[in-house]
């Protein structure tokens, strides 16, 4: 059952639900933010249109910086801008930023504690035909291990737009993980969004399993929950858009209700949200956990849907994991 306080789209499970590339929401958020806050500056490394920063660049040419293909250069320049007092958003593909420039992020942004916002577009296997080199599956792991860094992974275009605005309002480094792919817009203007606060989207009486997800896997999790419900398996679905700091309270609360947790994410099974939740529950409330993610392999070229299927990242896989974890709990 959909949680009323989440105010999700009325078209949630209908064919009419609109699909929009999550990155488009990011681009729109940047334009709105630019109008609100003159301190905001955007940088890119020769990926203006792919990162959807081209509209910001057109409207605020004086606050847009083209760095050329130089992710290490771009991120250190962003560090300098933030140190001065600007609010820089460094936009590239996640495989290159934070993939290539991790040490510069560690030292000049995190240890230095300056509020650079790093937007990593093109994440997960849904990047598609470009193949493994461009399908970033390790970024959450890289970013969440850094002190001072906040890690946010929006689940649809509206949430991506809200995440941009929210990221600018905190005086901290933030990593925004933004999918390229079209994904159903299941949230609305009214859906609550606050960095660090997980949102319960689906909630049934006497739940047997909690499904926690981020990014495009949230919608897949909701589809899974609906299927499970039809078979009499009640569940909770949490959109955990902020991976760091984790909403410990919400997660422990749900774990206590179900004792069985499935984490679903378009990331390696190690080091991502699944890792973060395992660390939390392992130390504070041991529960049965299954992680639906990429199993220690790289992606490959293909269509997004084919690849989600191939790498075990669909609603069906989530439902199977839910059955497995419930079985383990009950055995």
Ligand X SMILES: Cc1ncc(C[n+]2csc(CCOP(=O)(O)OP(=O)(O)O)c2C)c(N)n1
Q: Which of 20, 102, 131, 148 binds another protein (CB under 8 A)?
A: 131
- Say whether residue 134 binds another protein (CB under 8 A): yes
Host H or E run for residue 174:
strand 174-178
Query: Residue 83 or 301: which CB sits closer to another protein?
Result: 301
- Say whether residue 98 binds another protein (CB under 8 A): no
Q: Which residue has the tokens 């937007």?
A: 119
- Say whether residue 7 binds another protein (CB under 8 A): no
Window of 3-11, 125-133, 283-291, 314-322 that interacts with another protein by CB under 8 A: 125-133
Residues in a beta bridge with 41: 88
Give me the residues that bind ligand X (CB under 6 A), please: 45-47, 69, 71, 96, 100
Q: What b-and-e string marks burial along 121-158, b requiring 16 or more CB atoms within 10 Å of the CB?
A: bbbbbbbbeeeeebbbbbbbbbbbebeebbbbbbbbbb
For residue 327, the tally of other CB atoms under 10 A from its CB is: 11
The interface mask with another protein, positions 52-91, x = CB under 8 A, is: --------------xxxxx-xx------------------
Q: Which does 113 bind (CB under 5 to 8 A by kind): another protein, ligand X, none?
A: none
Task: Report the nearest approach of another protein to the CB of residue 43 (Å).
Answer: 12
- The helix-helix angle for 217-230 and 315-330 (nearest 10°) equals 60
Give every CB contact of residue 240 below 8 A, 6+ residues apart in sequence: 198, 212, 213, 214, 246, 247, 251, 273, 277
Task: Report the nearest approach of ligand X to the CB of residue 69 (Å).
Answer: 4
Q: Among this protein's residues, is 306 annotated catalytic?
A: no
Catalytic residue among 28, 59, 66, 71: 71
Query: Residue 89 or 202: which CB sits closer to ligand X?
Result: 89
Host H or E run for residue 152:
strand 150-152
Q: Is residue 198 within 8 Å of residue 240, measured between CB atoms?
A: yes
Interaction site with another protein (CB under 8 A): 44-50, 66-70, 72-73, 95-96, 99-100, 128-134, 300-303, 306-307, 310
């Amino acid at each position: 059952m959909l949680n009323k306080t989440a105010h999700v789209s009325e078209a949630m499970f209908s064919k009419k639900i609109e699909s929009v590339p999550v990155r488009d929401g990011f681009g729109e958020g940047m334009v709105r933010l630019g109008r609100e806050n003159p301190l905001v500056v955007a940088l890119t490394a020769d990926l203006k249109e792919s990162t959807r920063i081209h509209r910001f660049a057109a409207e605020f040419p004086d606050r847009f910086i083209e760095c050329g293909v130089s992710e290490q250069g771009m991120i250190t320049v962003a560090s300098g801008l933030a140190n001065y007092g600007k609010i820089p958003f460094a936009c590239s593909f996640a495989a290159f930023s934070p993939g290539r420039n991790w040490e510069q992020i560690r030292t000049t942004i995190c240890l230095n504690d300056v509020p650079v916002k790093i937007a990593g577009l093109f994440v997960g296997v849904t990047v598609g035909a470009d193949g493994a080199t461009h399908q970033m599956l390790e970024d959450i792991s890289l970013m969440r291990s850094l002190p001072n860094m906040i890690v946010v992974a929006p689940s649809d275009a509206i949430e991506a737009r809200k995440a941009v605005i929210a990221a600018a309002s905190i005086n901290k480094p933030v990593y925004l993980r933004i999918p390229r792919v079209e994904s159903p817009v299941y949230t609305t203007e009214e859906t609550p969004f606050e960095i660090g606060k997980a949102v319960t989207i689906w909630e049934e009486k006497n739940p047997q399993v909690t499904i926690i997800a981020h990014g495009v896997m949230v919608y897949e999790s909701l589809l899974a929950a609906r299927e499970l419900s039809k078979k009499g398996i009640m569940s909770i679905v949490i959109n955990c858009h902020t991976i760091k700091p984790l909403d410990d309270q919400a997660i422990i609360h749900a774990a206590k209700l179900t004792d069985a947790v499935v984490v679903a994410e378009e990331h390696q099974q190690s080091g991502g949200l699944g890792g973060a939740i395992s660390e939390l529950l392992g130390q504070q409330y041991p529960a049965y956990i299954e992680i639906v993610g990429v199993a220690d392999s790289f992606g490959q070229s293909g269509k997004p849907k084919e690849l989600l299927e191939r790498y075990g990242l669909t609603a069906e896989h989530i439902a199977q994991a839910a059955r497995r974890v419930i079985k383990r709990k009950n055995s």
